[in-house]
Structure 1
Amino acid sequence: MIEFNREQWINGLWKQNPGLVQLLGLCPILAVSTTMVNAVSLGLATVLVMAMANFGVATLRNFIPYEIRIPVFILVIASLVTVVDLLFNAYLHGLYLVLGIFIPLIVTNCIVLARIEAFAAKNNPLASTFDGLAQGIGLVWVLAVLGALRELIGSGTVFGGIDLIFPDASSFKVLGEGYPGFLIAVLPPGAFFALGCLIATYNAINTRASERRHKAAPQMNADAVAEA
């Protein structure tokens, strides 16, 4: 069971990362990643919805008729998103106003529905909850890196808007007060450029790791033959 869960985490965080490999949910990924705070906040809201939705569907999967499974899945997701939306409105109202329509749009986020259909509808509640958490956290780290990169290049700061969560906190001017900013980084084209760079980096890391494994394999075989 431990090994299975470990594989789920590896898949969610890296091998099947929803933002870099599956390319799901690109609309919120590109739209809210203008700052790290906005990106991570929406990502954490998505994690919460994914974990609870996976748990709920996995618990009820034997009682849901196959013919109406998609409407039922969407109903479960919509109910949970409504709860998260109201919590943001009540306790993080400033951030709620900034994120706007993108919190309710979690209902239509293909990441959530895809994991329910592919995993939660076929597995037990514990494994399904782990899957939702792993896939969601994989999305969060991509959003965090993308948001930090765009914010740093675009305005020279990190944690811009953190005061919406912690009123006494403030952003860090990493590149100094005189940094003029690079406008395209915080505009929609900048989101595509930044995501493209992340995907290219991800592919380069995997390619180099694969090459190292191929180079090591003959040596391992030779050592095994020598020992025999």
Structure 2
Amino acid sequence: IIMAISLELHRSLGAFIALIVVNCLILGRAEAFASKNTIPRSMLDALGMGVGFTLALLSIGMVREILGSNSLFGIALFPDGFQTWTVMVLPSGGFFAMAIWLLVVNWLKNRQAENEAQAQELTS
């Protein structure tokens, strides 16, 4: 809509529009919770949501940094022959990082379920 109304405004805001939308989603969720709960519960919820969102951003960013530039906080992690994944430093790299995390989480869940099934067989 902004692009249709004012191309110049769209060009100047371009990269920030997505950040503004995400910020509105986070604040809208916090406001919806706070309007139905007490102040202490709302403060704890806001703290938990803030820490959780920060950890999510850090986990995605760290995967992108490690695989995209072979470093973390400026320290090289793999030998010189390591082939970096150029896609990880592109905007789409966030989706790949998220996919990697989903693969790891699902693998761990499946492994845990298999271990529980084996333990169940041993006890019966």
Q: TM-score range by the shorter chain?
A: 0.5 to 0.7
Q: Any unmatched runs of 5+ in structure 2?
A: 1-14
Kindly indicate whether the alpha-carbon contact (under 8 Å) linking 1:155 and 1:179 is maintained by their aligned counterparts in 2.
no
Q: Any unmatched runs of 5+ in structure 1?
A: 1-99, 160-170, 223-228
Pairing partner for 2:20 from 95, 105, 114: 105
Partners in 1 of 2:104 and 2:38 — Cα distance? Answer: 35
Residues 108-158 of structure 1, C-alpha deviation per residue, up to 9 Å, x if partnerless? 4413312321x2111111111111111221121121121111111111111
Match of 1:187 in 2: 90
Match of 1:63 in 2: none
Residues 60-106 of structure 1, C-alpha deviation per residue, up to 9 Å, x if partnerless? xxxxxxxxxxxxxxxxxxxxxxxxxxxxxxxxxxxxxxxx848x727
Match of 1:135 in 2: 49
Question: Partner letter of residue 122 of structure 1?
Answer: K
Partners in 2 of 1:146 and 1:107 — Cα distance? Answer: 16
Match of 2:75 in 1: 172
Identity of aligned residues (%): 28
Partners in 1 of 2:29 and 2:35 — Cα distance? Answer: 10
Residues 43-62 of structure 1, C-alpha deviation per residue, up to 9 Å, x if partnerless? xxxxxxxxxxxxxxxxxxxx
Partners in 2 of 1:114 and 1:128 — Cα distance? Answer: 11
Question: Cα RMSD over matched residues?
Answer: 3.1
Kindly indicate whether the alpha-carbon contact (under 8 Å) linking 1:151 and 1:158 is maintained by their aligned counterparts in 2.
yes
Partners in 1 of 2:105 and 2:53 — Cα distance? Answer: 14
Partners in 2 of 1:210 and 1:131 — Cα distance? Answer: 31
Change (3 A) 1:188 1:101: closer
Partners in 2 of 1:150 and 1:197 — Cα distance? Answer: 10
Residues 167-225 of structure 1, C-alpha deviation per residue, up to 9 Å, x if partnerless? xxxx2122356656321111122211111121232234345546638x65xx6xx8xxx
Query: Relative contact order: is structure 1 or structure 2 higher (C-alpha 8 Å, sep ≥ 6)?
Result: 1
Pairing partner for 2:102 from 183, 199, 207: 199
1:156 and 2:59 aligned: no
Kindly indicate whether the alpha-carbon contact (under 8 Å) linking 1:150 and 1:191 is maintained by their aligned counterparts in 2.
yes
